[in-house]
Amino acid sequence: MFTKRTSAGIVLFGLGALLALAAELPYGGWLQIPILSIVWWRLRNETSQTTKQYYAYGLIFGLGYFLIGLWWLYISMHDVGGMNPMLSAIAVLLLSLYMALYFSAATFTIRHFKQSHTSGLLLAASWVISEYLRGYIFTGFPWMGLAENQFDGPFSPIAPVFGGLACTFLVVWASWEILQMRTYPIKRVVILLATIALIQFTGKISYTKPFGEPISVRLIQGNFEQSLKFNLQAIGQQIDFYVSEIQKQSADLIIIPETAFPWPQNNLPSGLLNYLQNYSNTSLSNLLLGLVGEVPSEQGMQYTNRAIGLSPNAQPYQYDKVHLVPFGEFIPPGFHWFIKAFNVPLSDFARGSFDQKPFSIERKNQTSVNAAITICYEDVFGDELASRIHRNKEPVHLLINMTNLAWFGQSQAPTQQLRLSQLRSLETGLPALRATNTGITAALGPDGKLHQTLPEFTQATLTTKIQPYSGQTPYVRWGNLPILSLAAGLLIRGFIRRRRF
């Protein structure tokens, strides 16, 4: 027979799972707000529990959220990497538990501070700090934050001003205010509706503007299974496919996905890059190619996850991925045993430098367009991208993300990353191109809205035009400093008041 504690744990686990599932539904950003209100209600009813018991409830809630949201990692480890099923499941469970620690720490505010009219602000502040730390400690893993789900919610228009963490702040605050509507309901409804209206009005302000003429683009989606990436015969077939597709039609910009040439650059077929450079010169097409680079290191040569840019009659451009995926692209100290169980070649890359310049897209008789490149996982780190754009000596007019999500099969991982790309466009006020292996290949406007996409798991090419933009949003200039300062200030004030009373 279930005890009261067991029953509460099951309910909170279910609410966490429901919160993750809501993110995949239309208007998920709206749906998550009342679900969070129920979570706060349940946790507030448990404040009489001991500190350990209460912390455990927050942990169970977070575990339900991340197990549902990150289960696709099992596919990469077991189905693709060949890891033992039990070890794969344990790895996903441990990662979810680690992520849940941050959720639990944030919800502890409900118990720690005396209930008052500022409780919602304190909860929102602690959640922002928690999410920020989750994105930095141990190189960070901010995937499945509340912010990217707000692209279909009421608070996304604040992203160009204060970033995704500001969206998170408002989601948590609003969900708490809904819970408090039993007291002063009219006042709270008016404040909540006025806040949403003000945020929506803020979204009407444009911080960037069109730059030059639209550029023609071709995004080639190869749809090659991940198991073929390290098959010698299949590697040749993939290279032949992409070279053939590149030459079918010229465009201002032609992009193939991350590691579309899944072979070290120095071992590619002789003369391949020179051949494509000649094609670029004659067709006046700029090419962006995903491949495996090599750089010297203390141990000899080390691989990099690289994008090579070829422009007409210009020196090749090179971008090496900066923010690497733990275990997939770099091995944390003491975890080489884990990588041996995870049978994936090329799993210890070198990092690129943070200050790499943008890719210049050359156009005949027109000003060049500069594109900030990110490779796969880097699209998760909005503050890093904003900082790069702000610090670049050359203006950035376009975002490009090259990715390969074949690792994760038919899961929600592609739609999750698409929402992240949409948030990045919204934060920076810049259009974006997503070139992927299996999907979701897409062109996004400066407001993050989808212009065109390709169906997942199809071999196709997206041919479109995209309008470059110029200028910088307040978030690009300020980064997370304003929202982190607000959150820290609220928490400091909360601790001071708690000590006084």
What lies within 8 Å, CB to CB, of 466 at 6+ separation is 214, 215, 217, 398, 431, 433, 443, 451
300: left (phi over 0), alpha (psi -120 to 50) or beta: left
Give catalytic residue positions: 258, 321, 376
Compute the distance between CA of residue 120 and CA of residue 436 in angstroms, rounded to an integer: 40
Number of neighbouring beta carbons within 10 Å of residue 243: 17
CB 162 within 8 A of CB 483: yes
Give the strand pairing for 442-444 and 450-453: antiparallel
Ordered DSSP codes for 23-78? TTSTTHHHHHHHHHHHHHHHHHTTTTS-HHHHHHHHHHHHHHHHHHHSTTHHIIII
CB 32 within 8 A of CB 170: no
Which pair of tokens denotes residue 38?
Answer: 């129920």
Distances (CA, A) of 483 to 33, 126, 488: 20, 12, 9
Per the listing, tokens 């239309």 go with 26
Distances (CA, A) of 18 to 11, 66, 232, 251: 10, 11, 43, 44
Compute the distance between CA of residue 371 and CA of residue 215 in angstroms, rounded to an integer: 12
Compute the distance between CA of residue 341 and CA of residue 237 in angstroms, rounded to an integer: 28
CB 272 within 8 A of CB 239: yes
Compute the distance between CA of residue 499 and CA of residue 359 in angstroms, rounded to an integer: 54
In eight-state DSSP terms, residue 378 is G
Which pair of tokens denotes residue 390?
Answer: 């702000």
Compute the distance between CA of residue 247 and CA of residue 283 in angstroms, rounded to an integer: 9
In sign, the C-alpha dihedral spanning 179, 111, 138, 345 is negative
Residue 217's DSSP bridge partners are 253, 464
